[in-house]
Amino acid sequence: MDPEPFKLQPARLNPEAAHLHKVAANFRLDPNNPNFEQNLKKAAAKSSNKFPIPQEHLTGMNLLLSDDYLIQDHPEVLNHTIRSGHSTCLRFNRKGNYLASGRVDGTVVLWDMDTMGVARKLRGHSKGISSLCWSRCGRYLLSACRGWLVILWDLQDGKKERQIRVRAPVFTAELNPTNRHQIIVACYEEDFIYCDAMNKLSRKYVLPSAPKRDDSEVDEATKEKWAKEDAKTMTTAAIFTPSGKHILAGTNKGRVNVINSNTREIIYSEKVCTGVITSLRVSFNGSDLLINAQDRIIRTFKLPELDVPDLDPDTIQLNLEHKFQDVVNRLSWNACCFGATGEYVAASTYNNHEMYIWERTHGSLVRMLEGPKEEQGMVEWHPSKPILAVNGLETGRIYIWGVTNTQKWSSLAPDFAEVEENDEYEEKEDEFDIHPQEEIAKRRIDREDEEDVDVLTMDVPKGDEQEFRMPILYNLGDDDSEEELIAVSTGTMRRKSYSEGQGDVSLDGETIGEGAAGGPSAGPAEKATAKKGKGKGKKK
């Protein structure tokens, strides 16, 4: 009888480990076989010699494959529900140990995925967060809001490193993976902006949104028609390639433009759909492109090699791989993302509480996640684990989907064994005997002579000396339920509405029109009250 096929889809930690897992899956190797390592060596030699097989990967292979929860490569159950305000936007960092959540009041909350607690809060926006982007090192976070403001945060101290004003609400803002000072911003009905914030004064450049066309052999009427169409074209979604050398931009006309980051010129354009492109996502290995459009179809494309030297734009092609859609219900999609290995695609549905997961090998639907009875918004897949984070549009809660983690008591001690029912323990004859006082005193003296062990200093793992670690804030609570509540009377509290405390913020951080009677945001009743109070002061 053939062994159970190897289904583990590992995280993209390094090419060697990923190659080993693919070999084990292709040759249907059984990880419980005592000769698993030898069989894996032979299978890897037969498959290809592209990657060498380090000994440390083989020695730890059985330990990695023995965990049952790692065999499942896509989420199935709802594991956690967390909340800090009303979440509108989500984004994992590159390692997946932190989840950034943008709230409707403009606050950015960083969640620790190990403890499911709040690690830090960033306050600087006055409107709802519309886009989040991490730097590759994990130290910097870019946030954009509907209040025409983009902020680059330094998480070492939680302060603003750069602040960029734009002329319209922001669709999306992205950092260059290789240079955090290069930022692209797509705004609502405004120009597509490329910002160079290397110096103290940021420089903004307008990137083209009109497609690249060859008009050498067309008549004047066609040129005028194209000019009218190009005048109405705007960029609605954009993202850098993993190398940062090119920009992929989607327009409201259904086109994808490939822009050179250095020259800021379009080198290739292609029409991929008929509707507005709402989001673009690139897989972790940079070889696949995911496009969500308003024509109710999610598309995956194979990206060409854009980083080759002497790239010829005429050789660039976007090859369509799959189309994911609900033909029966004709559902639209709020958001979509790639899986950790790029072999799955997850999407949330418009005006529906279900989430869809497809596999890309055959393009078939593998799972429909039915959880809370509310519409799901942003969808984010963990970079290395079968964990999916989504936010509810109605309540603003964050739902963490994952796999069922089975308890393995043998991990604590090799002699631990699971039993189906309670067993009566038979004690040894001298197990609970009372020892004489002399022996107890001798043991106490021996313990005092032992060397002290430092349990407070954290040892840095090998290879992580230069890795950024977010400082721990001991005065930060696990939640912010107190700041979400307002005292109405003695012993009576009510939850703060989303419109309260959202006054406009000026460049120097001063809040305008929040709580000042007769101010710019005060209503007619407040202005009348302020005027009446002023008159009483004069009379007195």
pLDDT tens for each residue of the chain, 540 residues long: 444 444 444 444 455 566 666 677 666 676 667 677 777 777 776 654 444 444 444 434 444 444 544 567 889 999 999 999 999 999 999 999 999 999 999 999 999 999 999 999 999 999 999 999 999 999 999 999 999 999 999 999 999 999 999 999 999 999 999 999 999 999 999 999 999 998 888 899 999 999 988 777 778 888 888 888 888 999 999 999 999 999 999 999 999 999 999 999 999 999 999 999 999 999 988 899 999 999 999 999 999 999 888 888 889 999 999 999 998 889 999 999 999 989 999 999 999 999 999 999 889 999 999 988 899 999 999 999 999 999 999 999 999 999 987 777 777 777 777 777 888 888 877 777 776 777 777 777 777 666 677 777 777 665 555 678 888 776 665 444 445 555 555 545 455 554 454 433 333 333 233 333 333 334 434 444 344 444 444 443
Positive or negative: CA dihedral 337, 339, 344, 350: negative
Tell me the β-bridge partners of 129.
145
- Coil vs helix vs strand at 39: helix
Q: Mark which of 328, 354, 380 sits at the end of a domain.
A: 354
148 & 260 share domain: yes
pLDDT at site 425: 82
Contact 113, 97 (CB under 8 A): yes
CA Rg, the chain, in Å? 29
Dist. CA 32–CA 3, nearest whole Å: 9
298 & 164 share domain: yes
Report which DSSP code applies to 411: G
42 & 177 share domain: no
pLDDT at site 213: 84
Token pair 């979440």 is found at 87
Number of domains within the chain? 2
126 & 64 share domain: no
- Answering whether pTM is above 0.75, one says no
- Residue 418: both structure tokens together: 């699971």
Amino acid at 394: E
Q: Mark which of 354, 369, 391 sits at the end of a domain.
A: 354
185 & 57 share domain: no
197 & 253 share domain: yes
Q: Is residue 80 included in any domain, yes or no?
A: no
142 & 261 share domain: yes
64 & 124 share domain: no
258 & 327 share domain: yes
Tell me the β-bridge partners of 240.
247
Q: Is residue 180 included in any domain, yes or no?
A: yes
- Residue 81: both structure tokens together: 């529900």
Burial 505-519 (b: 16+ CB within 10 A, else e): beeeeeeeebeeeee
46 & 174 share domain: no
Dist. CA 204–CA 163, nearest whole Å: 13
Q: Is residue 313 included in any domain, yes or no?
A: yes
CA distance to 30, 39, 266, 450, per residue, from 1 (Å): 12, 17, 57, 56
- Residue 325: both structure tokens together: 């859609």
- Residue 2: both structure tokens together: 């053939």
Beta strands per DSSP E along 177-305:
179-187, 192-196, 203-207, 235-240, 246-251, 255-260, 266-271, 277-282, 288-293, 298-302
Q: Is residue 278 included in any domain, yes or no?
A: yes
CA atoms within 13 Å, Cβ hemisphere of 105: 18
Dist. CA 172–CA 347, nearest whole Å: 18
- CATH number of 196's domain: 2.130.10.10
Q: Is residue 126 included in any domain, yes or no?
A: yes
Report which DSSP code applies to 395: T
Angle between helices 15-26 and 36-47 (to 10 degrees): 100
Q: Is residue 192 included in any domain, yes or no?
A: yes
pLDDT at site 17: 61
Q: Which helix (H) or strand (E) holds 91?
A: strand 87-92
Q: Is residue 427 included in any domain, yes or no?
A: no
Domain range for 51 is 15-71
Q: Is residue 98 included in any domain, yes or no?
A: no
Q: What are phi and psi of 89, to 5 degrees?
A: -150, 140
Residue 261 CA to its chain's centroid (Å): 24
Amino acid at 230: D
Q: Which helix (H) or strand (E) holds 444?
A: helix 437-449
46 & 165 share domain: no
276 & 152 share domain: yes
Q: Mark which of 326, 354, 382 sits at the end of a domain.
A: 354
pLDDT at site 422: 86
